[in-house]
């Protein structure tokens, strides 16, 4: 019983980590997009 609980908590932490990674990635993507837009407006 104790082991399954441990596996469950591990699974939950993995899911949380994945969500955090996705958030971080999308944030970085947005930043790069904004940077590109700045460059484009500067060129024009």
Q: Which range of residues forms the domain containing residue 42?
A: 1-44
pLDDT of 22 reads: 97
In terms of Cα–Cα distance, which of 31, 13, 33 is closest to 21?
13
Say what the pLDDT of residue 9 is: 92
Provide the pLDDT for residue 1: 58
Q: How many CB atoms lie within 10 A of CB 18?
A: 10
pLDDT for residue 4 = 85
What digits encode the pLDDT tens for the residues 10-36? 999 999 999 999 999 999 999 999 999
What is the number of structural domains in the chain?
1
pTM for the model: 0.59
Is 80 exceeded by the pLDDT of residue 39? Answer: yes
């Amino acid at each position: 019983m104790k082991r399954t609980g441990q596996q469950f908590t591990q699974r939950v932490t993995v899911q949380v980590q994945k969500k955090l990674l996705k958030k971080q990635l999308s944030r970085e993507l947005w930043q790069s997009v904004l940077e590109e837009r700045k460059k484009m407006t500067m060129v024009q």
